[in-house]
Amino acid sequence: MELRILGCHSATPKPDEYPTSQALAVKNRWLIIDSGEGMQMQLRRYGVKFGRIKHIFISHLHGDHVYGLFGFLSTLRLLNRQTEMYLFGPPELKPLLDTVFKHTQVELTFPLHFRPVEGDGFRRISDEKDFEVYAFPLKHRIETHGFLVKEKPAPRKLNMDAIRLYPEIGIWAYHNLKAGKDFVTEDGRVIPNEELTLPPPRPRSYAYCSDTAYDPSIVPYIRGADVLYHEATFAEADRDLAALTLHSTARQAAEIAREAGVGKLIIGHFSSRYKDPQLLLREAQEVFPDTELAYEGKQVIF
């Protein structure tokens, strides 16, 4: 997987700081997760080709997570896109889009398939050939969901040195071997698949926790993720303000990462009150050392 941070600051855009938006590549296919203002300009800046984007996931309808969506879809129309797009988000997003497009006279040139994300619990919302996406509720001022993107297991790899020891094994058998099946010789002898193949790379996963108060109930949903992005709007000195606005502190984000046993934590959605986010990084690293700051253009390959 490849993660590209397009924007990671809260609410108010600045010349070099953009509201929340991310691009995630899975098997060379790009997914957009949230769409703050300036998202399409950031895609251009970091070389993410529009034509390779087929899925957009919106966590909630606060403006700093969705205002960039309208311009992006309109641009795709101007580019005469024909390939279908899948959009996932709160049910209210669809009538909002319809209203904007009606009054701005935008008629899309491509099929836009909207899939509402709502309700409680952990559930799969997208099932593709190489990956699947799950949604789970977060604790914020309006209905908000986090997302878990999981690679599907790849086929097993052929061990050609071992296969050559058995002349009976022809190319016709390779598909079954990659699928994990044993090989049966003409005289009925079973050759275990493990002797003829090598295990594939371990499937990777990415967890995205948008705006949310500290909520340990999400830990089972994101347990063991290779990379977790969790909002960290406030420092511990402003813990009361975090609770009031249903956001998290950097330390609370780290506590979630520690309890979930993730591989790496990336914190973002910083309040503009902090001139140097290193303060937030230090507080998170006291709890979860493998923590990194998000910043515009940050690339994480895992």
256-269 pLDDT, tens digit per residue, is 999 999 999 999 99
Q: What is the mean pLDDT of residues 122-146?
A: 98
pLDDT band at residue 12 under the 50/70/90 scheme: confident
Q: Is 98 a catalytic residue?
A: no
Q: For 158-200, what is each residue's pLDDT tens digit?
A: 999 999 999 999 999 999 999 999 999 999 999 999 999 999 9
Q: How confident is the model at residue 231 (pLDDT cuts 50, 70, 90)?
A: very high
Domain ranges of the chain: 2-154+201-301, 158-198
Considering 34, 64, 211, 226, which one is annotated as catalytic? Answer: 64
d(CA 243, CA 140): 10
Nearest to 69 by CA among 80, 58, 78, 59: 58
CB 154 within 8 A of CB 203: yes
DSSP 236: G
Residue 15 reports pLDDT greater than 90: no
What sign has the CA pseudo-torsion 125, 127, 130, 132? positive
Query: Which of the following CATH numbers is that of domain 2-154+201-301: 3.60.15.10, 3.40.50.620, 3.90.1150.10, 3.40.50.970?
Result: 3.60.15.10
- Quick: pLDDT tens for 59-117: 999 999 999 999 999 999 999 999 999 999 999 999 999 999 999 999 999 999 999 99
Q: How far apart are the C-alpha atoms of 206 and 43, rounded to whole Å?
A: 20
Contacts of 64 (CB under 8 A, 6+ apart): 10, 11, 12, 19, 20, 36, 37
Report the 10 Å Cβ neighbour count for 219: 16
Model confidence, pTM? 0.93
